[in-house]
Amino acid sequence: MSISYKKISQIIGPLVYLKNNHDVQYGEIVKIHINDGEVRTGEVIKMDEDVVMIEVFEETRGLSAENSEIFFSNDTFKVKISKDMLGGVFNSLGQPIDIHTRKVLSSDVLADVKRDINGSPINPFAREYPQDIIQTGLSVIDGLFTLVRGQKLPIFSGQGMPHNDLAAQIVTQAQVMKKEPFLIIFCGIGIIHDEAISFIDKFQKSGNIQNIVSFINFADDPVMERLMIPNVALTTAEYFAFEQNMHVLVVLIDMTNYAEALRELSAAKEEIPSRKGYPGHMYSDFARIFERSGMIKNHTGSITQIPILTMPNDDISHPIPDTTGYITDGQLVLDRDLNKKEIYPPFEILASISRLMKDAIGADTTRSDHADLSSQLISSYSNALDVRDLISIVGEDSLTMGERSLLRFADAFENKFLNQKINENRSFDETFKRAWEVLSKLPRNRLNRIHQKFIDKNYNRGV
Amino acid sequence: MTESNNNNIGFISGINGSLINIKGIETKVRLHDLIKVNKHNIIGEVIQIYSDFVVAQCFENTNNLKLKQKILYLDNPLSMELGPGLLSNVFDGIQRPLEKIFQEDETGFIERGIELPSLSREKKWKFTPLMEVNQIVSGGNVVGKVQETQSITHYIMVPPNINGKITYIVKEGEFAIDEEIYRISNGEVEKSYDMIQKWSTTRSRPFHKRLVPNEPLITGQRVIDLLFPIAKGGTVAVPGGFGTGKTVTQQAIAKWCDADVIVFVSCGERGNEVADVLRQFAELTDPRTNRPLLERIVLIANTSNMPVSARESSIFSGITIAEYYRDMGYHVALQADSTSRWAEALREISGLLEEMPAEGGYPAYLPSRLSSFYERAGIIETIGNDGKKNNNIGSLTVLGSVSPPAGDFSEPVTSNTKRFVQTFWALDAELAYQKHYPAINWLDSYSNYPQYIKNWWKTFNLNWDEINLNWQECRNMMNVILSSENELKNMTQLVGEENLPENQQLDLFTANLMKESILIQNAFDDTDNFTTPTKLLAMIQLILLLYKEGKQLLEEGFIIKDIKDLEIIAKIQRIKNSIPNEDIDEIERIKDKLLNEINSLRRSYRVIR
Ligand SMILES: Nc1ncnc2c1ncn2[C@@H]1O[C@H](COP(=O)(O)OP(=O)(O)OP(=O)(O)O)[C@@H](O)[C@H]1O
Ligand SMILES: [Mg+2]
């Protein structure tokens, strides 16, 4: 932190322009000192021989050409990381905060390392194909859409749906199957203060807080910080996964707020908008976040991501979920009708998929009948939904026996398998037991996707 | 690359994202030539030239760069290094060797500024000369060969546009690719050649003449080979929303198609998918050679988180490598997943340049760039054809995935691609939702190749007595039945299937059987994943035989239920995943059983009467 510089020539939105007569680095971090003692941070995003353009992380309100002094740091943005972070709560810049007052704590992180938050891309050749699992304790995920270590599996939700409960439940319940070091990073993006307090409170009560590192960006924090926080969280995740050999699960909520911030900044920069005003580079921006997951050859750690987003107007073709689905390894979609029926978690089964599941489940990790079970549950439920539609055309009376059994199956599936309490943590065995229980509502010969040996062993058990 | 010459040095005068302005070299650079940021070892490509500066796009991020930093002008465009060592290898969009990079940097990340030769200079290859001193040669002639992998012989060719007399050629022996192999004199100067050719990615490699496609690229995917076939040297687009099956389809084709060499470009997509391809291709064996599939593939991986400008280069890098193997007389398939990510890279760079956008924010030159990609496909007579060898025909088939936002095919990349391809496999989100994979919609897809390849199929004949249709006839009948189903769809919903006339119910029943037994194909099932032409013809003819007999039965007064209740139908549905490709006799037995069941149906009916 050396040279100071005074003359701001223009301020437009989050952007500050200076005359360039300083030896600036591209991407360099600047500190803006305002008369009243306040300090803001910015980054050099464009420069030529005349002008330097700086994007200010915090807001530019209150800045003027007169009252501000700019200091160049001679470096790009780096976050401090340390093993002491476990159990702590941090802001978008990686500083420890008090969740109730939002104030930065005086006890700054004693850094083990400092890392550039943009990271470097993982060498595709160095990637290990993910083939082991994480248990969430939720039947619908573990049973039908198993989460795989190294996967990025988003949840598409909507306003007013229980994604906060789901996020908290996953954070507090998730575990790896063998006794390997496991860490959860919770990254709140643009969430309101009450929600943030409630999250941290739940984490503390779970007794699991020592395995959780939380990063919180509040809804009224500056736009630029919203864009930084996922990368701050993921830089931290990379350190623990690939240098400390831990399995790290990162939950990001709500990516919709991140996208809104992107759009806002893009408009300020007068970029050419793509669909619905979102910038054309949103795909690359999302990808640079989501691709920071996976496994690396000769490393034992992993990064798994669950990004959660709210679909504007429940529209899955909206650019935010659409762009996400094009990058992630599947998606979990929440369904408003099931939510109205008070089924929790209200998963839209047919729209959801875990693309990496097929190579990761089975006798070695879960159970030998897992693949058959999940395929049968999904296909029978799909048939049952067709029957429900049929009732509205032909009426219930003209249904065949087979169709009636499908309806009974679907009710049982929704109530006994899907439905679960927000603090109910089910083991894989419990999930499979329930799966067989609801499948036993169907005649044996309708289980065409399950190998006979499994049917012989499990059908009608426990009913 | 001349680095020492002082005239080739400039300096940075501006930075904007991946773009840098450079002063000092504007009078001599050519468009698309490369530059290097000296201090950080970052390569860039010149994309605009003004009177007092030039603009270059850097292939890596520009953080920490400063104004006035030294720039070297490399005096060459982005070129591929072509020679032994390409196969089984993985490169990024500008042909940096990713396996080698991992050996150098075991953290598994790609740090900026790594500089390594694309192809190994250490590895020795056994070179066998096929020419002698004093022979007159020209571009494309084969001077010798190297067994690059056990499946593929790599022919060492005279670079295009070179001719003269061989004045020296090594004897059989072990050589690194940069060692001298032969010399050619054009009467005035003698030049020395090794096994490396360099070729700019933006220029297509020359060929003697273009031929008319006449042979299918057999993919082993039933809906494709039967309904929407592709010719060797053809072009196809695979558009579809997320999760509709583009990647799985492309991978299935890369695994099973009957091309000799595959160049697979993972362009702006997932790292985990690249790991998946590497893993699967190392494990799987090529049914034709019994060697690991990895031996016939070149992988270009510029995943979505890697630099955007290298993503833009990746598909042209891939097609240049593909053309090189085509020139050896091979059938090559280039698969680009996804071309939309390439187009978006183009759009991002165009945006930084503040160019006037056309539709969807894409630059106005999007269509011309797309056509310059697909136009490099074709079946050709090579320039190396010296009338002696018979492997003088090569082909390059191009298969591009398209990822339209919201699955809307009217968007610019899909609609422009449609103008330049001959085959269109429209992936349908509704089918994918129903788990009907491959989700190729049989009403919206098309292929212009059947007329070119129908004669090829005539060599396949099962010689069944009861039904003997050729490929073309099978297609036609299948199309008639499927479109009949489509026309009946509304009616069915209104009145219910059982209230339709019996013969229409037979159409519906047959169409469903076709979907379940033929169109739906599980890429992950060990038997279902690949169907040979013979098995395919047997499967479709069996269903058409059932259809024909069914019509007959209805005329005789039987009802549709009699047909649906035939026991053999369950067997027919399972042929795809229960009977291996080799076991055509088993299908024939099912056919005989079908006829038996129908006959006993008739007999029992007579008894009742
Ligand atoms: N032929 C098939 N057989 C079985 N499953 C399939 C098949 N095709 C697709 N799938 C299923 O659909 C999922 C998504 O397919 P795929 O990855 O090919 O989609 P995509 O079109 O490439 O999507 P994106 O645009 O997001 O990359 C697969 O993980 C697999 O579960
Ligand atoms: Mg894909």
Please state the rounded mean pLDDT for residues A11-20: 85
Looking at the structure, tell me whether residues A125 and A254 fall in a common domain: yes
Residue pair B423/B237 in contact (Cβ under 8 Å)? The answer is yes
B275:A121 CB<8 A: no
A379:B109 CB<8 A: no
Angstrom CA distances, B13 to A15, A356, B31, stand at: 21, 47, 18
Looking at the structure, tell me whether residues A27 and A168 fall in a common domain: no
Q: Shortest Cα distance from A27 to chain B (angstroms)?
A: 5
More confident site: B354 or B395: B395
Assigned CATH for B6-78: 2.40.30.20
Looking at the structure, tell me whether residues A50 and A129 fall in a common domain: no
pLDDT reported for residue A224? 84
Looking at the structure, tell me whether residues A302 and A322 fall in a common domain: yes
pLDDT tier at B3, thresholds 50, 70, 90? very low
Q: Is 50 exceeded by the pLDDT of residue A89? A: yes
Looking at the structure, tell me whether residues A320 and A439 fall in a common domain: no
- Which among B105, B270, B434, B577 is the top mutation candidate for probing chain A, defined by the most A β-carbons within 10 Å of its own β-carbon? B270
Ligand nearest to the CA of B432: 1
Is A463 a member of any domain? Answer: no
A28 residue type, one letter: E
ipTM: 0.92
In chain A, which residue's Cα lies nearest the Cα of B88? A125
Residue pair A48/A12 in contact (Cβ under 8 Å)? The answer is no
In chain B, which residue's Cα lies nearest the Cα of A24? B66
Q: Is 70 exceeded by the pLDDT of residue B608? A: no
Please state the rounded mean pLDDT for residues A388-403: 81
Looking at the structure, tell me whether residues A83 and A70 fall in a common domain: no
Angstrom CA distances, B512 to B483, B520, B546, stand at: 12, 10, 13
Q: Is 70 exceeded by the pLDDT of residue A3? A: no
pLDDT reported for residue B287? 80
Assigned CATH for B471-608: 1.10.1140.10
Q: What is the pLDDT of residues B411-439, one digit of tens each?
A: 999 999 999 999 999 999 999 998 999 99
B257 residue type, one letter: C
Q: What is the pLDDT of residues B9-67, one digit of tens each?
A: 999 999 998 899 999 998 889 988 999 998 899 999 998 999 999 999 998 889 999 99
B242:A325 CB<8 A: yes
B549 Cα to the center of ligand 1, angstroms: 37
Q: What is the pLDDT of residues A401-423, one digit of tens each?
A: 888 999 999 999 999 999 999 99
Is A244 a member of any domain? Answer: yes
**Looking at the complex, does the CB of residue B16 fall below 8 Å from at least one CB of chain A?**
yes
Element (H, E) at A261: helix A255-268
Choose among A150, A273, A317: nearest Cβ to B272: A150
In chain A, which residue's Cα lies nearest the Cα of B402? A326
Angstrom CA distances, B181 to B87, B153, B166, B428, stand at: 21, 17, 11, 53
Residues from chain A contacting residue B265 (CB–CB below 8 Å): none
Instruction: Indicate the CATH number of B211-449 among 3.30.1540.20, 1.10.287.90, 3.30.70.3040, 3.40.50.300.
Output: 3.40.50.300
Looking at the structure, tell me whether residues A9 and A87 fall in a common domain: no
Is A186 a member of any domain? Answer: yes
Q: Shortest Cα distance from A242 to chain B (angstroms)?
A: 8
Looking at the structure, tell me whether residues A211 and A165 fall in a common domain: yes
Ligand nearest to the CA of B246: 1
- Which among A54, A127, A317, A380 is the top mutation candidate for probing chain B, defined by the most B β-carbons within 10 Å of its own β-carbon? A127
Q: Is 80 exceeded by the pLDDT of residue B609? A: no
Domain count within chain A: 3
Token pair belonging to A393: 């055309």
Query: What is the CATH topology of the domain spanning B120-195?
Result: OB fold (Dihydrolipoamide Acetyltransferase, E2P) (2.40.50)
Q: Is 90 exceeded by the pLDDT of residue B214? A: yes
How many interface pairs between A and B have CB atoms less than 8 angstroms apart? 187
Is A364 a member of any domain? Answer: no
Instruction: Read off the CATH number of the domain in which A197 is found.
Output: 3.40.50.12240
Token pair belonging to B140: 């494309």
pLDDT reported for residue A212? 95
**Looking at the complex, does the CB of residue B287 fall below 8 Å from at least one CB of chain A?**
no
Boundary (domain end) residue, out of A325, A359, A393: A359
Is A365 a member of any domain? Answer: no
Share of chain A above pLDDT 90, in %: 70
Residue pair A282/A319 in contact (Cβ under 8 Å)? The answer is yes
Instruction: Read off the CATH number of the domain in which A9 is found.
Output: 2.40.30.20
A242:B16 CB<8 A: no
pLDDT reported for residue A462? 46
- Residue A308 dihedral angles phi and psi, to the nearest 5°: -115, 135
Average pLDDT of chain B is: 92
Please state the rounded mean pLDDT for residues B570-592: 92
Please state the rounded mean pLDDT for residues A332-357: 96
What are the residue boundaries of the structural domains of chain B, listed by start?
Answer: 6-78, 120-195, 211-449, 471-608
Residues from chain A contacting residue B111 (CB–CB below 8 Å): 120
Residue pair B53/B96 in contact (Cβ under 8 Å)? The answer is no
- For chain B, give the longest Cα–Cα distance: 104
pLDDT tier at A135, thresholds 50, 70, 90? very high
For ligand 1, atom 10, which residue shows the shortest CA distance?
B245
Looking at the structure, tell me whether residues A193 and A254 fall in a common domain: yes
Please state the rounded mean pLDDT for residues B285-291: 85
Find the domain containing A211 and state its range: 79-359
Q: Shortest Cα distance from B350 to chain A (angstroms)?
A: 10
More confident site: B267 or B351: B267
Round to whole Å and give the CA distance between A195 and A201: 10
B246 Cα to the center of ligand 1, angstroms: 6
Residues from chain A contacting residue B14 (CB–CB below 8 Å): 47-49
Residues from chain B contacting residue A356 (CB–CB below 8 Å): 272
Round to whole Å and give the CA distance between B412 and A335: 32
pLDDT reported for residue A389? 86
**Looking at the complex, does the CB of residue B495 fall below 8 Å from at least one CB of chain A?**
no
- Which among B55, B91, B272 is the top mutation candidate for probing chain A, defined by the most A β-carbons within 10 Å of its own β-carbon? B272
Give the highest mean pLDDT range of A394-398, B381-385, B422-426: B422-426
pLDDT tier at A8, thresholds 50, 70, 90? confident
For ligand 1, atom 24, which residue shows the shortest CA distance?
B242
Q: Is 70 exceeded by the pLDDT of residue B387? A: no
Boundary (domain end) residue, out of A60, A75, A90: A75
B15:A356 CB<8 A: no
Least confident segment among B191-195, B243-247, B387-391, B465-469: B387-391
Ligand nearest to the CA of B239: 1
Residues from chain B contacting residue A297 (CB–CB below 8 Å): 102, 108
Q: What is the pLDDT of residues A48-70, one digit of tens each?
A: 988 999 988 777 788 887 888 88
How many CB atoms sit inside 10 A of residue A332's CB?
A: 27
Boundary (domain end) residue, out of A359, A387, A412: A359
DSSP A349: G
> Could you tell me where the DSSP H helices lie in B328-394?
339-352, 366-374
In chain B, which residue's Cα lies nearest the Cα of A128? B275
Instruction: Report the Cα–Cα distance between both ends of chain A, in Å, rounded.
Output: 71
Q: Is 70 exceeded by the pLDDT of residue B5? A: no
Looking at the structure, tell me whether residues A22 and A130 fall in a common domain: no
pLDDT tier at B317, thresholds 50, 70, 90? very high
Is A23 a member of any domain? Answer: yes
Q: Is 70 exceeded by the pLDDT of residue B274? A: yes
Q: What is the pLDDT of residues A283-305, one digit of tens each?
A: 999 999 999 999 999 999 999 99
Please state the rounded mean pLDDT for residues A168-196: 94
Round to whole Å and give the CA distance between B280 and A1: 51
pLDDT tier at A395, thresholds 50, 70, 90? confident
- Residue B211 dihedral angles phi and psi, to the nearest 5°: -110, 170
pLDDT reported for residue B460? 87
Q: What is the pLDDT of residues B71-112, one digit of tens each?
A: 999 999 999 999 999 999 999 999 999 999 999 999 999 999
Q: Is 50 exceeded by the pLDDT of residue B512? A: yes
pLDDT reported for residue B1? 42
Residue pair A428/A142 in contact (Cβ under 8 Å)? The answer is yes
Residues from chain B contacting residue A299 (CB–CB below 8 Å): 108
